Chain A
């Protein structure tokens, strides 16, 4: 049995008197320590799937289990990182990082030590007394990453975490998160619509397409070591992904009717 098992999961919503199928019959098995990217255009159900895995939403039919347990509600063992960071603007950087540790009932001195450790990891030690509004987007997302890692979760769910950042900051953070997560042996489920981002980060890319949202195919990324965005291997996989996405023109005609 795999670490994360998604079996025949469908999610429908009522929409103007009709039933809208956001996600249809998804099956996926993920092993511990894998870095999985859910890649697809908007409306392909990738965020819906992530939300259900993180416990914020429930499938209409089908089952989701993590470590053999059905997912029913969010837990501090699996932390989500959001596109708009989800930092608390009234707390300093350090106190934001301590948020989850407070729930775990850690004493103040220990909280501070842990926060310090992870702020150092993301390179923000000098900013611990600042408020989020004083930081750039990239720095804010680093704080959110430090906050997530501070509670030592088994899984990180990331919902287009770098989508709001400029291209150069995004690439820098991609390299950082890749290194950090492999070093800390986390399992990562990462939602993105950026093809290059998925190739740089993922062990496996789950390609999803809309109408209704479902998994089209899964691409194994065998790029070892540091990922060079201009290497032939990289471009080869990129080509594979492009092929996958350009195969379904009838989706659009259906959508506009």
Chain B
């Protein structure tokens, strides 16, 4: 109930400030839409089905890009965390690549993958990859030694050791990386879709800008924000399900 109160309050504050800026600044409504225009824009986008289609395409790309990135980064992180000698050589490379914005790779991505669907996927992939990889490697390296002793004692060898013991043991630590990666990847979805994609929320933003439809631009921004929030809640649910399933306690509790 408190939540509802807070959200309603926040919404009211935003609307008042927004309307005040529009009214007081005197900018052209084509450049800065009123809340009411924006709402009408939503009506337009929903009624001609554009919004649903764009949301669908964006989510599809996000799910493919994020899932493949997270799965590969986790597998790689488990193996590299385990074989520390190899990681010794790869760690400097990862540390150099990690702070580079995925967008910087864009010309090369276009060179390798062309334009359209792939750049968005690749950029999401890169954005999610490093947080998860580094979190997994760190988690494996700080694994409680007693689990490994038990595994050795009971004759559990590779690859069962990785999946039966190490992965569940380090999962609570990886979860932090998964969260971080989700936010980053969602941010870069829009950037990725600005390159040659013919659909999606990123395309909607470009399209609205090109057509001087500031109201639709605002609609796209709001949609991205709300969906990002929703995705975060979804991953949180999934995480809690895994915690319950495995009888684990989350790290920061």
Q: Write out the residue numbers on chain B whose beta carbons fall within 8 Å of the beta carbon of A75.
A: 153, 155
Task: Identify the stretch in A81-89, A160-168, A170-178, A189-197 within 8 Å (CB) of chain B at 4 or more residues.
Answer: A81-89
- Cα A80 to Cα B155 with chains together (Å): 12
Interface string of A115-134 (1 = CB under 8 A from B): 00000000000000001111
B222 to chain A: closest CB distance in Å? Answer: 40
Question: Do the beta carbons of B146 and A131 come within 8 Å of each other?
Answer: no
Interface residues of B in 154-176 (CB under 8 A from A): 154-156, 165, 168-169, 171
Question: Do the beta carbons of B147 and A88 come within 8 Å of each other?
Answer: yes
A4 beta carbon closer than 8 Å to chain B: no
> SS class of chain B's interface: helix, strand, loop or mixed?
helix
Q: A82-B146, A86-B147 are in contact. Are A100 and B155 (CB under 8 A)?
A: yes
Q: Kindly identify which residue among A76, A84, A99, A132 contacts B247, using a CB–CB cutoff of 8 Å.
A: A132
- Cα A203 to Cα B62 with chains together (Å): 66
Q: A100-B155, A132-B247 are in contact. Are A56 and B149 (CB under 8 A)?
A: yes
Interface string of B42-55 (1 = CB under 8 A from A): 00000000000000
A151 beta carbon closer than 8 Å to chain B: yes
Q: Write out the residue numbers on chain B whose beta carbons fall within 8 Å of the beta carbon of A25.
A: none
Q: Write out the residue numbers on chain A whose beta carbons fall within 8 Å of the beta carbon of B154.
A: 76, 79, 99-100, 103, 151
> SS class of chain A's interface: helix, strand, loop or mixed?
loop
B249 beta carbon closer than 8 Å to chain A: yes
B236 beta carbon closer than 8 Å to chain A: no
- Cα A55 to Cα B154 with chains together (Å): 12
Question: Do the beta carbons of A88 and B165 come within 8 Å of each other?
Answer: yes
Question: Do the beta carbons of A90 and B153 come within 8 Å of each other?
Answer: no
B209 beta carbon closer than 8 Å to chain A: no
Interface string of B223-247 (1 = CB under 8 A from A): 0000000000000000000000111
- Cα A45 to Cα B92 with chains together (Å): 40
- Cα A79 to Cα B137 with chains together (Å): 30
Residues of chain B whose beta carbon lies under 8 Å from any beta carbon of chain A: 146-147, 149-150, 152-156, 165, 168-169, 171, 245-249
Residues of chain A whose beta carbon lies under 8 Å from any beta carbon of chain B: 54-56, 73-76, 79-80, 82, 84, 86, 88-92, 99-100, 103-104, 131-134, 151
Q: Would you list 20 pairs from A and B whose C-beta atoms are within 8 A, ordered by A residue?
A: A54-B153, A56-B149, A75-B155, A79-B153, A79-B154, A86-B146, A86-B147, A86-B150, A88-B147, A89-B249, A90-B245, A100-B154, A100-B155, A103-B154, A103-B155, A103-B156, A131-B246, A133-B247, A133-B249, A151-B154
